[in-house]
Structure 1
């Protein structure tokens, strides 16, 4: 193709109430850009009418690609599938719920044309979210910035634009527990923020409850930091030193002053304290061990049930039906 091609990846899971309005707002934004575009909708095993709507959009808009996964694999893997199948010289990632306004995409494109490989959208305000969610999100970003050796920008989600060089680098990372915000930063290359205000969700309900968010945060911490293991070692050593010191004091006191048959409360406190510390850090090590176990199985990230490419885009790569890594020659 003679012009630059921009791919927009849109993971969707049960978004029948928002997907048409999202496309209605995105279409004129892409039409106003001086480049060609494709919209890669990744249906992540939706159980509502999302897939039917996407099929209709692909018939009405020649820029629409529909990638239907065989089941729900989760948003992180759905984004990875979109990156595998996107053909653009630049690739934008955006959610379908319209919390991230498509109208910001031209600013992302402008940053890319300035020479930045990753242009990420950074939230200045988060409308429509509870104070508790904002507080916990802020705490998470502060913690992971302190623990991780990779700088992960605060108040930044998945809404961003990547150069082809950055996309090709990301496609080489096939780890099972995928914390994409960290992977976007890990690949490096010149990066630039574009600030915006996040809108309330257009329709439907969020798929992220607090339990899922907690597990997602745990994935991020264990994927990009070994500090919890170091804390386990340091705290274990400190507790052992305190226990030895206390034991020495008990021996000296017994030799000097004697000791009546008492001490049940202090003994139980010590046992429960040491047992609790051990169980906590056995759990920490178990989290890392479980992730190692998942990696050794080397399973594909996803399976594709249907791939309906955009009519106006000629694929530059060959793709298989799984999330295994494929090279440019299809091997």
Structure 2
């Protein structure tokens, strides 16, 4: 009998944990040919999620949990669950039930057809906020333009990975993993399936605008050096543009004409000063990633687990 591991990160999701487990268990009740385990990763919650997981694990042998010593972030929580999963395939999904557990059967069916990775592409309901739909569309277009790895619009962390893929990902030592990109980068045979995101079961989204921008920056800098190339091109472009000013300076010197325009000069200095800071910031991001990798600290710290 094959075993399926379901990895679910949880950050302040005490009101959702039992509900999502019951949904997953109900799905596997209809999949009698498969054993399953549900691995919750408590990502430094402060709302009682830890006590809820202990209670749920005491009542259900299929429930396993990992508790981080602090909040390490959604991607590392997923990575920790994958590192500790024992199944022949691993399914990752969110705890808020916006990833419909009913699709697990379809994902397993595609896996049994020979696909190593079954990933999902999300579409939003019409009543979803327009800003959320537009920003998501813009994000994927931008990241595909500037990154070396193409990620389909609507990609989410709701996917099935064969054990062979999980073993490869577990051997990648990345302090800031971007799993949506990594699962495309590793190759293997892949199949996309589509779903419409459900409403959050309870609580509020933990992905603030700041966290979304940080995830976007991680995705871009993890798979591309194009921002560095763009910085070089900008430098050459503006250096060439400045050469156009030389004939005017020579003419003014020869004919003893006073060069006016202090306001435009100050604006030019401010503009190029800002541009230099942007380029230095891009360099700093890449150097920072190197710094984190070379410190050789663990990507996450486990405080407690029940297996």
Q: TM-score range by the shorter chain?
A: over 0.9
Pick closer, same or farther for the CA change 1:184–1:261 going to 2, 3 Å.
closer
Match of 1:254 among 252, 255, 262: 252
Unaligned runs of 5+ in 1: 310-331
SS at match of 1:18: helix
Report if the CA contact (8 A) 2:147-2:223 is conserved: yes
Report if the CA contact (8 A) 1:54-1:66 is conserved: yes
Which residue of structure 2 lines up, in the alignment, with residue 287 of structure 1? 285
The count of residues paired between Structure 1 and Structure 2 equals 306
Cα deviation per residue 1:274-324 (whole Å; 9 max; x = unaligned)?
212111111111111111111110110111122213xxxxxxxxxxxxxxx
SS at match of 2:244: helix
Cα deviation per residue 1:207-248 (whole Å; 9 max; x = unaligned)?
1111111111111111111111100000110000111221x2
CA distance in 2, matches of 1:143, 1:105: 30
Which residue of structure 1 lines up, in the alignment, with residue 169 of structure 2? 170
Match of 2:269 among 253, 265, 271: 271
Report if the CA contact (8 A) 1:9-1:79 is conserved: yes
Which residue of structure 2 lines up, in the alignment, with residue 321 of structure 1? none
CA distance in 2, matches of 1:305, 1:251: 67
Pick closer, same or farther for the CA change 1:82–1:210 going to 2, 3 Å.
same
Which residue of structure 2 lines up, in the alignment, with residue 125 of structure 1? 124
- TM-align CA RMSD: 1.4
Which residue of structure 2 lines up, in the alignment, with residue 82 of structure 1? 81
SS at match of 1:17: helix
Which residue of structure 2 lines up, in the alignment, with residue 239 of structure 1? 238
CA distance in 2, matches of 1:275, 1:8: 50
SS at match of 2:39: strand
CA distance in 1, matches of 2:202, 2:236: 52
Cα deviation per residue 1:39-58 (whole Å; 9 max; x = unaligned)?
11111111112111111211
Cα deviation per residue 1:158-191 (whole Å; 9 max; x = unaligned)?
0000000110010111211221111111111111
CA distance in 2, matches of 1:267, 1:32: 73
Report if the CA contact (8 A) 1:44-1:75 is conserved: yes
Which residue of structure 1 lines up, in the alignment, with residue 13 of structure 2? 15
SS at match of 1:284: helix
Report if the CA contact (8 A) 2:92-2:160 is conserved: yes
Which residue of structure 2 lines up, in the alignment, with residue 316 of structure 1? none
Greater Cα shift, 20-29 or 262-271:
262-271
Cα deviation per residue 1:22-65 (whole Å; 9 max; x = unaligned)?
11211110121121111111111111121111112112211111
SS at match of 2:15: coil
Q: Superposed, which structure 2 residues align to 1:156-167 within 5 Å? A: 156-167=155-166
When normalised by structure 2's length, the TM-score is 0.96
Report if the CA contact (8 A) 2:76-2:176 is conserved: no
